[in-house]
Amino acid sequence: MQVLRDPLGNDDPPRGTVMSIGNFDGVHVGHQAVLSHVVERAAAASTTSVAMTFDPHPIKLLRPGEAPRLVTTLEQRLALIERTGIGTILVMPFTHRLARMAASEFVREVLVDRLKVLEVFIGKNFRFGADRGGDVALLRSMGEELGFEAAAAPIVEAAGGVVSSTRVREAVASGNVEEVAALLGRTFFIDGRVLEGKRLGRTLGFPTLNIEVENEIEPKLGVYITAVNIPSFDRTFAAVTNIGVRPTVYQNSLTTVESHLLDFTADVYQERVRLFFLRRLRDERAFASTMQLMTQIRRDVAAARDFFAGHPVDGLELILP
């Protein structure tokens, strides 16, 4: 797959392509459906399939206080789009100049003059151009005039409703990681680097990896059954992960993400790992003593071992870095 990060400048993007345009945060099953359709249409026309996305997210530039916390980093998004078979990704730097460009101007200057697009597919609710003036109807009418076809991407439902990036974010924020998996069509994951912590887990008999998360969003505070991929070991380990402020031991502590790997004790400080969320066990809560905390951790580990007895790590469908 080709990734072009300056498609309106020094890069030489492919012309005469079949394209989808969107933010594609999470690359959920709805995104996957339209991108797969683009791949099929491009193959039928013997041309290149293209996904155009934006960085940063437009709301971050225009209304930063209202910007959503994104499900995926840009690099994760690109890797997930690649899995759909898309041939080229155009990463459009979202600038104030681009934000001020009228939708009709964007169609003429970018889609037609620059890219000579053959077909364009966008989400039914996707808007583009200044004041969000561009939509499927505009693309269709201008396509008839300028010689390209346009259509709305089909609506996809999963887990009892229409799939959207907003719905994915809400499910992540509520800690419903199994619903998130249904919406994404994959196990939800975050990436991060292992930092040296205060070694509290080690003193309690449950050493942990203290993970500095790269993603903007992480699940609701609580305890989860997880899996951790450590690239240097070329292996994924069963784990229990706590997201929280460790109220039994610390007060006014910052939120941490700490994973206890069930059968692993080596130091991997500064290594980048991928953390998969499989099931939520419970809320984080304060205990009257560290003895009570240790008893609960033992219960959490036992619950995780029961889970992995029926769902071996090697048998899970995980997207590895």
pLDDT tens, 146-164? Answer: 999 999 988 899 999 999 9
Give the pLDDT score at 152. Answer: 94
Residue 200 has pLDDT above 80, yes or no: no
Mean pLDDT over 295-310 rounds to 96
Give the pLDDT score at 62. Answer: 93
| pTM, rounded to two decimals | 0.94
Render pLDDT for 6-32 as a digit per residue (tens, 0 to 9).
Answer: 999 999 999 999 999 999 999 999 999
Question: What values do phi and psi take at 113, rounded to 5?
Answer: -65, -45
Residue 83 has pLDDT above 90, yes or no: yes
Mean pLDDT over 209-218 rounds to 96
Instruction: Produce one character per residue of 107-120: b if its CB has 16 or more CB atoms within 10 Å, e if not.
Output: beebbbeebebbbb
The Cα 162–Cα 15 span in angstroms is 33
Reported confidence tier of residue 37, pLDDT bands at 50, 70, 90: very high
Give the pLDDT score at 201. Answer: 53
pLDDT, the chain, mean: 93
The Cα 282–Cα 80 span in angstroms is 30
Reported confidence tier of residue 182, pLDDT bands at 50, 70, 90: very high
Give the pLDDT score at 205. Answer: 58
Three-state helix/strand/coil letters over 197-243: CCCHHHHHCCCCEEEEECCCCCCCCEEEEEEEEEHHHCEEEEEEEEE
Mean pLDDT over 257-269 rounds to 91
Give the pLDDT score at 197. Answer: 67
Give the pLDDT score at 154. Answer: 86
The Cα 149–Cα 263 span in angstroms is 55
The Cα 69–Cα 92 span in angstroms is 19
Residue 95 has pLDDT above 90, yes or no: yes
Residue 79 has pLDDT above 90, yes or no: yes
| DSSP label of 134 | B
Residue 253 has pLDDT above 80, yes or no: no
| DSSP label of 70 | P
Give the pLDDT score at 248. Answer: 57
Mean pLDDT over 250-272 rounds to 86
Tokens of 162: 């229409």
Residue 134 has pLDDT above 90, yes or no: yes
Following DSSP, what letter does each residue of 263-286 receive, concatenated? T-----TT-EEEEEEEEEEE----
β-strand partners of 20: 51, 121
Residue 106 has pLDDT above 90, yes or no: yes
